[in-house]
Amino acid sequence: MVIAKINSKDEQNLLKETQKKYTNILDLETQFTSLFKHVKYFNPKFNSPTIITLISNIDYNSRVIFADSLLLVSLDVYLGKEHPFYADYPKYIKENNTKENIIVDAAKAIVSKQLILASNRSFISKMIHEGKKMYLLDMYLPRTPNKLKIGYSEEKLQWAIANEEDIWKYFIERKLLFSTDTKLNNRFLDNAPFSKFYLEDDAQSPGRIGVWLGWQIVKSFMQNNDVSLQKLLTIDSEFLFEKSKYKPKK
C-alpha cells in the first residue's frame, strides 16, 4: 500500500494526520485478504485488486473506488468520527468516518460492480436492488456487524428494528411500493440524516430506510427459497418480492 504524495500545506497536514493514524495497517491487510477470499468463493473469476491508499481531501463521496485491477482507498476519510477535521460535517456522514468502515466501503465498491440496475423503476424494485447489495455484504463480510454494513449508529439501527412493521404499513397504506415517483429516492433510498415520512418524529429515523427494508425482504426471500447467490442477482425484483414471503417483525 502507498500513500499518494501531495504538496499544499493543508494537504500536508492531512497527510501527516493520516500517516499518524495508519502507521500500522496489518489488520487492514488481514481484513482485505478475508474479503477477497469470500468474494472469490462466490465469484471464481474474481481477481484480487491491487490496493492503493491515498488522500482525497476528504472526498467522502468517493471513499473507495474499485476499477477492476485497482482498489483506491481514501484513508483521510477514516480518521475517526470525532476527528477535528470533520468538525463541520453532518453527524450521519461522520458516523462512517472510522477505520472499521474501510472494509465495508471496499466491499460496497466491489458489490456495486456486480449488480446491474434493472430497468424496472418501481420503488419496490429499487428497494430490493439495494437489498441485494446488502445481502452480498452479508456474504462477503460475515463477521461485520449489521450497523456497520448499513452505516447506522446503534441507536438508529434499533429504531429501524423496532419500527419495521410501522414502516411497512406506511409504504402499503400510501401505495408507495409500485410507485415510480423519483422523489421517493431522496426520501427513503439516498444517504441522508433521516428518512422523510413527513411525520413529527422523522428526525429519530435513520436515512435510507428503504435500503434497510429491502435488505429484510431479500433475506426473507433467501430463507424461503433454494437459490444460489449468483442466481439471486439475476432475479426480477418484483418476482423476488412475491416469493419472499416477507412479513415485518412486530
Q: Does the reported pTM lie above 0.95?
A: no
- Give the model's pLDDT for residue 120: 79
Q: What pLDDT, on a 0 to 100 scale, did the predictor assign at position 185?
A: 96
pLDDT for residue 6: 52
166 within 8 A of 156, measured Cβ to Cβ: no
Nearest to 58 by CA among 95, 97, 7, 5: 97
pLDDT at residue 195 in the model: 98
* pLDDT tens readout for residues 107-161: 999 999 999 877 779 999 999 999 999 999 999 999 999 999 999 999 999 999 9
**What's the pLDDT at 177?**
97
The pLDDT value recorded for residue 2 is: 44
Query: Which pLDDT score is estimated for 13?
Result: 87
Which pLDDT does position 199 carry in this prediction?
95
Closest CA to 229 of 134, 165, 120: 134
Q: What is the pLDDT of residue 7?
A: 58
pLDDT under 50: residue ranges of the chain: 1-3
Tell me the three cell numbers of residue 182. Answer: 423519483
Name the nearest CA neighbour of 209 among 185, 181, 188.
188
